[in-house]
Amino acid sequence: MPVFTLRINGKEYKTDVAADTPLLWVLRDHLGLVGTKYGCGIAQCGACTVHIDGNPVRSCTLPVSAVKTAKVTTIEGLSKDGDHPVQLAWDEIDVPQCGYCQAGQIMTAAALLKRNPKPTVQQIEDAMHGNLCRCGAYHRIREAIISASKKI
Amino acid sequence: MSTLNKTSRRDFLKISSLTGGGLVLGFSWFGSDAAPVILNSSTVADLNFNSYLSIATDGTITILSPNPELGQNVMTSFPMIVADELDADWNKVKVMQAPLDKKFDRQLTGGSGAIPHSWKRLRTAGATARYLLIAAAAKKWNVDASECTAENSFVIHTKTGNKLSYGELAEDASKITVPADVQLKNRKDFKLIGKAIKNVENKNIITGKGIFGLDVYRDGMVYAMIQRPPAFGTKIKSVDDKAAKAMPGIIDVVTFKNNVAVVGKSTWEVMKARKVLKVEYEKDGNIESTADHNQLFTTMLNSDNAQVRRKDGDVETAFKNAAKVITSEYQCPFLPHSPMEPMNFFADVRADGVELIGATQTPGSALTQVSKLLNIPEDKINVTITRLGGGFGRRLKFDFVVEAAELSSIIKKPVKLIWTKEDDMTGGSYRPAVRYRFQAALDASGNLIGYKLRGAGINVGNSTRENNFPSGAVDNLLIDTVDHQSPITTGAWRAPVTNFLAYAEQSFIDEVAHAAGKDPVQFRLELLQKARTNKVGTINYNIDRMETVIKTVAEKSGWGKKKDVSLGFSVYFSHQSYVGQVAEAIMKDGKPVIKKIYAVSDCGEVINKSGALQQVMGAIVDGYGHAMFGKLSFKEGAPEQTNYHNYRMIRMKEIPEVDAYFIDNGIDPTGLGEPALPPTGGAVANAIFKATGIRLKQQPFVDEKLFNPA
């Protein structure tokens, strides 16, 4: 199996896996970065969202071989101590219910605010359309993004 | 309301010096007869107590959270109740998930029952610790305990203003005799209860800590997935696992019962190998399709062989004498629970014992079942409960726990069994499908003189709640059910039965009100008044509480006063709580859109304002989303929807606004994880009727012609 060198959260990792292994399972099974979640495996729920060079990407359908030299950011690397404005807003608004989808929600929201720090409600809803929350915490997810956008 | 809570001395236990000093209080919530004993670390395991609440000498207060946490926020609300009675500094409270311990009574998550069950127990726990700390301080100061009070983790001598922290007092408190009775707070003195307190696990969740079942990794662990029959009513005929076994990273393929388990070194390798399994299946029971079920419903509704659930008065005569008869049918499909975290469990079955770790709503039942299956005594099995990535009833069933344990016992390795989302959606234990036929008889003045409900279900059992409203308010009433036994497995789904019954019933009551020429709110209030003055038979709801909820939500929503929007009303009693809802519809591009849902809940005392609001908002999104979009249909025994690409779940831009209120009545708390869900479908359907004149008789609404003009 080929050895891949990945740049994740500012660190370099080497992993020896099949080329078609989705980044999600490399993160979880091989590198111990379990914050990125498996939800559907077909890029429909957004629980596995990570940043690839700053863009939100569904890691469950991204083969590790496609990552190449791109910079990967996972929820563990979004901030040093959970103090990214989106993470702080998530706590302030008390967003999580079961919490399983929230890493993906936060990563999508953080990427949105990076490219558009003052999104309209409709832009928020469009950007978050790919992230499912089975608990239905959508009201507070939206509120937290609005709150974070005011502080960025 | 201040109560002297008499709790038997034998329900308490202090354990000193177990955690390096301080006070450790153990409680037997199991009804043990063991007398209170001061324990040391060598004897504690033998007794029917668990160390539940501890106060360390540095002031850290550790509270165990027994019930599995799946988003109902019990891990925050339970300790809030203890800490309030304890007058603890909330910032010094640490909460830990307790492992399965049969000494906890009711260590499960289901039925919206955790808070109602434990309310008094938790308060007593906190109040007992507070008593001991105050007694210890009084002794130290050589004053009477009545001169002392507690606040924010300090005991204060009111006359002198002297203060001692809980940490300083913990050691001495462990030497005080546990009281037989403790005084509980007056609710006006609550400092935490009723406030908005943030989820204690927020930090872990937002930083991606591995707190869920799927995040469990252990040294030497292997990964497994199971190929199960693709259609209900089939079984394995033959297995060719040669190609799968030859795939990279595969350790073994084993077949047991109707399961073909692929075991390997990583999730992805197992997923890939599973795709090259060649398994043939053969018929093993009825092979059913949704089209068959639709015919079956008709047969069942017309059957002469129904089980009578309730009969009041003379229904036949009432209908014969009626000035008007209204008949209507409502139908709801199967639904998967579809929590975001697919089923999974870790199991390590060794000669010396069993380790089970993962996300389950019923750790105790899972343990019992594994013990029976593997013939291993229960005390050799440890169950560690992780956070659950959603449950909604799916994790009440412990099939995946038993599978993991059985597989580990066969391959003799620690294994993490993982279900894919497709396994989850096609693997059964669905919300059952049901069709109802309602009939109402009105006299010439529009009074409801007769009521009939026939429930036809597939694996529901009793698809009605025969003592719920409007029973008690109608002189002549018949409720009966017919059920079909299907190989399609079903189970409890958030607010079982009421999640579809409430939609159907509240839609029908709206129909009857319109037919009687009465306002839907007024019509319900008249029925309640009838039940109050001239109650028929037994009822399980409280008339006053339901009436208050109806009136309050009518007022909050501006019922009868709004001109530019169409309002739909619904009210429902479930899990001992009352929730009234009003949905607000507008027309946009020729289609109705639900803009807002008002909700008024009476769940008694609200513990955590933030968590309670989350439960109501989430339940409404859940109820609305599934009523609008949720559908699992079958073709020749196999589900036609397999994952989120063809099973539609509500997304952010589709949610209505929610305006939620609570009745502040100080009644002991009742359930809240489920009760806000049942009324939503009816409120929405009634608002859409008001906006369009069209009754939505079948879920999901989005399949109805109204949303799909030719």
Q: Which domain CATH number covers B509? A: 3.30.365.10
The residue behind tokens 């550790």 is B62
Using CA coordinates, name the residue in chain A closest to B674. A135
pLDDT for the residue numbered B5: 43
Residue B107's pLDDT is 86
- How close does chain A come to B390, measured CA to CA in Å? 5
Where does the pLDDT of residue B16 fall: very low under 50, low under 70, confident under 90, or very high at 90 and above? very low
Is A35–B650 a contact, with Cβ atoms under 8 angstroms apart?
no
In angstroms, how far apart are the furthest CA atoms of chain A? 47
- CB < 8 Å to B217, chain A: 29, 32, 34
Please judge whether A139 and B208 are an interchain contact, meaning their C-beta atoms are less than 8 angstroms apart: no
Q: Which CATH architecture has domain A85-151?
A: Orthogonal Bundle (1.10)
* Of the residues B206, B227, B251, the one at which a domain ends: B206
pLDDT above 60 for B40: no
Q: What is the pLDDT of residues B306-333, one digit of tens each?
A: 999 999 999 999 999 999 999 999 999 9
Q: What is the pLDDT of residues B101-113, one digit of tens each?
A: 877 778 888 888 8
Candidates B201, B223, B614, B652, partner chain A, best to mutate (most A CBs within 10 A):
B652
Mean of the pLDDT values across residues B571-582?
Answer: 98
Distance from the Cα of A109 to chain B's closest Cα (Å) equals: 12
User: Once rounded to an integer, what is the mean pLDDT over residues B617-641?
Assistant: 98
Are B356 and B376 contained in the same domain?
yes
Do the two domains A3-77 and A85-151 of this chain adopt the same fold? no
Is B357's pLDDT higher than 90?
A: yes
Of B189, B206, B223, the last residue of a domain is: B206
Indicate if the pLDDT at residue B11 is higher than 90: no
Interchain pair A100, B652: CB under 8 A: no
Counting one residue from A and one from B, how many pairs have CB atoms under 8 Å apart? 190
pLDDT of B32 above 60: no
Please tell me which of the candidates B211, B611, B644 has its beta carbon nearest to residue A45. Answer: B644
Residues B185 and B219 in one domain: no
What is the least distance, in Å, from the CA of B66 to any CA of chain A? 16
For residue B385, give every residue at least 6 positions away whose Cβ sits within 8 Å of its Cβ, in sequence order, or none.
Answer: B68, B97, B98, B99, B100, B358, B359, B360, B363
Task: State the CB neighbour count (10 A cutoff) for residue B278.
Answer: 12
* Residues A21, B266: C-beta atoms closer than 8 Å: yes
Same domain, B85 and B232: no
Q: Which of B215, B272, B391 sits opposite A34 (nearest CB)?
A: B215
Condensed to tens digits (0 to 9), the pLDDT of residues A71-111 reads 999 999 999 999 999 999 999 999 999 999 999 999 999 99
Q: Are residues B608 and B671 in the same domain?
A: yes
Segments in B519-632 forming alpha helices (H): 520-533, 543-557, 609-629
Report CB contact under 8 Å: A41, B199.
no
pLDDT, residue B50, reads: 55
Is 70 exceeded by the pLDDT of residue B396? Answer: yes
Which residue of chain A comes nearest to B421, CA vs CA? A40
CA dist B475 and B109 (Å) reads 38
- The reply to whether residue A97 touches residue B653, judged by beta carbons under 8 angstroms, is no
Is the domain of B51 the same as that of B36? yes
d(CA B256, CA B417): 14
Residue A123 structure tokens? 């832009």
Give φ, ψ of B598 to 5 degrees.
-90, 140
Out of A40, A94, A126, name the one closest to residue B643 (CB). Answer: A40
- For residue B320, being part of any structural domain is answered with yes
- Residue B18, pLDDT above cutoff 60: no
3-class SS at A24?
helix
Q: Do B169 and B202 fall into the same domain?
A: yes
* Interface contact A134-B209, CB threshold 8 A: no
d(CA B417, CA B202): 27
From chain A, pick out residues whose CB is under 8 angstroms from the CB of B658. Answer: 139
> In this structure, is residue B295 part of a structural domain?
no
Crossing angle for the helix pair A85-92 and A138-151, nearest 10 degrees? 130
Structure tokens at B408: 């580990």
Per CB-CB distance under 8 Å, the chain B contacts of A22 are: 268
Q: Omega before B230 cis (within 30°)?
A: no
> For residue B121, what pLDDT band results from cuts at 50, 70 and 90?
confident
The answer on pLDDT for B51 being more than 90 is no
Contact flag A100-B390 (C-beta cutoff 8 Å): yes
Of the pLDDT bands very low, low, confident and very high (cuts 50, 70, 90), residue B179 is: confident
Whether the ω angle into residue B700 lies within 30 degrees of 0, i.e. cis, is yes
Please tell me whether residues B320 and B374 are part of one structural domain: no
pLDDT at B49 over 70: no
Closest chain B CA to residue A29: B266
- B268 vs A25, A100, A140: nearest CB: A25
Query: Which of A98, A112, A123, A138 best tests the B interface by mutation, with the highest count of B CBs <10 A?
Result: A98
Q: Could you tell me if B321 and B352 lie in one domain? A: no
Look at residue B19 and tell me whether its pLDDT is greater than 70. no
Closest residue to B338, CB basis, from A32, A97, A134: A134
Chain A contacts of B201, Cβ < 8 Å? 96, 99
Domain ranges of chain A: 3-77, 85-151
Query: Does one domain contain both B199 and B229?
Result: no
- CB count within 10 Å of CB B509 equals 25
Question: What is the percent of chain B where pLDDT is above 90?
Answer: 84
B36 has pLDDT over 60: no
Q: Is residue B631 part of a domain?
A: yes
Looking at the structure of chain B, the number of domains it has is 3
Q: What angle do CA B560, B562, B563 make, to 5 degrees?
A: 115
pLDDT of residue B64: 84
* Partner residue facing B71 (CB), from A32, A106, A135: A135
**pLDDT mean over B38-52:** 44
**CA–CA separation, B153 vs B136, rounded Å?**
14
- Kindly identify which residue of chain B lies nearest to residue A97, measuring between CA atoms: B71
Per-residue pLDDT of B138-149, as tens digits, reads 999 999 999 999
Model confidence at A55: pLDDT above 70: yes
B523 lies in some domain: yes
pLDDT at B298 over 90: yes
* CB within 8 Å: A44 and B71: no
Give buried/exposed letters for B280-308 (b at 16+ CB in 10 A, else e): ebeebeebbebebbeebbeebbeeeebee
pLDDT at residue B6 in the model: 43
Tell me which residue has tokens 């309640």: B528
Q: List pLDDT tens digits, range B253-280.
A: 999 999 999 999 999 999 999 999 999 9
* Closest residue in A to B76 (Cα–Cα): A97
Shared domain check, B500 and B623: yes
Q: Return the pLDDT at B99.
A: 84
Q: What is the pLDDT of residue B381?
A: 97
- 3-state class percentages of chain B: helix first, strand second, coil last, to nearest 5: 35, 25, 40
Same domain, B188 and B69: yes
pLDDT at B134 over 50: yes
Mean pLDDT, all residues of chain B: 93
* pLDDT number for residue B29: 55
CA B275 from centroid of its chain's CA atoms = 35
Rounded distance between C-alpha atoms, residue B651 and residue A46, angstroms: 11
For residue B146, what are the contacts with CB-CB under 8 A and spacing of at least 6? Answer: none
Topology of the domain comprising A3-77: Ubiquitin-like (UB roll) (3.10.20)
Domain span at residue B161? 4-206
Query: Contact A91/B614, CB-based, under 8 Å?
Result: no
- Pair (B165, B251) in one structural domain: no
Mean pLDDT, range B483-496, rounded to an integer: 97
What does pTM read for this prediction?
Answer: 0.95
Q: Tell me: the pLDDT tens digits for A103-129?
A: 999 999 999 999 999 999 999 999 999
Q: Higher confidence at residue B24 or residue A99?
A: A99
Q: How far B72 CA lies from chain A's nearest CA (Å)?
A: 7
> How far apart are the CA of B211 and the nearest CA of chain A, in angstroms?
9
**Structural domain ending residue among the three candidates B367, B384, B418:** B418
**pLDDT of B511 strictly over 50:** yes
Residue B217 scores a pLDDT above 50: yes
Residue A131 pLDDT more than 90?
yes
How many CB atoms neighbour CB B238 within 10 A?
10
